[in-house]
Amino acid sequence: MLFKIIFFLLFLLGVSLFISTVATIILKKRARKKIHRKTHAIRESEPRRDIAAEVAEKADEYQRTYLDRVSEIKRDFHQERVVSKEKAAIQGEVAPSYKRRLDYGNIKWVFIVLVLIGVLFSGTMFWVKYYKVRSQIPKLYLCENIDFIKLKPIKSSDRFTRGNVTVFFKSKSPIKQKYLHLEIYKLGEAGFVPYAKKKINIKPEWTSFVATVLFDQIGNYIVEIKGPDNKLIVQKLVEIVPDSYAYKAKPRYIP
């Protein structure tokens, strides 16, 4: 089970990285196509001229602008640094350090992938924990018979006609008790009243047991399995209907 969970998480990680990579490639291709279309449209709309001279002129202009801008930035930075040092010297503080700004354009995809992985991992762990807890809860079946080879109920239902009904208790782990209580309550005008009670002798290493209960009265019942301390383990509702009811249940012999 642990190997399956690890494999599933690695698979989700690979899918997330693949989706983020494909999305980045698609967005870059779209941006390049858009820039190419705009450049092509501008070139088509402009009249033909001496491209070499224009390129040389623009290169010179760009170089002058770039050098002027660099000089301006250095001058502003130097002035700001000097002013900060003077203020820090006056106030007795350390001048702030200037750090290079980070480009968060590519980091956002990493953050999105990490969030998706966290959500998927949390959901997977919750599902595993829920399934584990739920699988440990014993189950109670009301049926017509038991397949003792596969240890499964036959024709399990919550509605039967009058007669004998098989009660099948099944647990994933050993019961670890020497006996259990089988109690049945019938719904009356004042609520559920005791109908029958039986002590089931078992062995601690057993994981299941079978009992037969006779329902000779029509109505609604609750079948409960309790421990030696009368603590409820599991319960199930059942309805006993007339033999002529339009349900597919077969009538039984009432001894």
Chunked in runs of 10, what are the mean pLDDT values of the chain (255 residues)?
Answer: 64 72 78 73 59 71 76 73 58 50 60 78 73 72 84 83 86 83 85 84 85 86 86 86 58 42
Q: What are phi and psi of 183, to 5 degrees?
A: -120, 140
Q: CATH 2.60.40.1930 spans which residues of the chain?
A: 139-241
221 three-state secondary structure: strand
Note the pLDDT of residue 246: 45
Q: Which two tokens stand for residue 246?
A: 């339009």
- Residue 42 three-state SS: helix
Backbone angles phi, psi at 76, to 5 degrees: -65, -40
User: For position 90, what pLDDT does the model report?
Assistant: 58
Strands 152-154 and 145-147: antiparallel
Domain 139-241 has CATH 2.40.30.10: no
Query: Phi and psi (nearest 5°) for 221?
Result: -135, 160
Return the structure tokens found at 102.
Answer: 């980070």
Q: Which pLDDT score, from 0 to 100, does residue 34 have?
A: 75
Helices (H), the chain: 2-45, 51-91, 107-136
Output the CA angle 223-227-231, nearest 5 degrees. 80
Q: What is the pLDDT of residue 253?
A: 41
Tell me the Cα Rg of the chain.
39
Establish how many alpha carbons lie within 13 A of residue 25's alpha carbon, considering only the half-sphere containing its beta carbon. Answer: 6
Write down the pLDDT at residue 94.
Answer: 47
**From CA 46, how far away is CA 37, in angstroms rounded?**
14
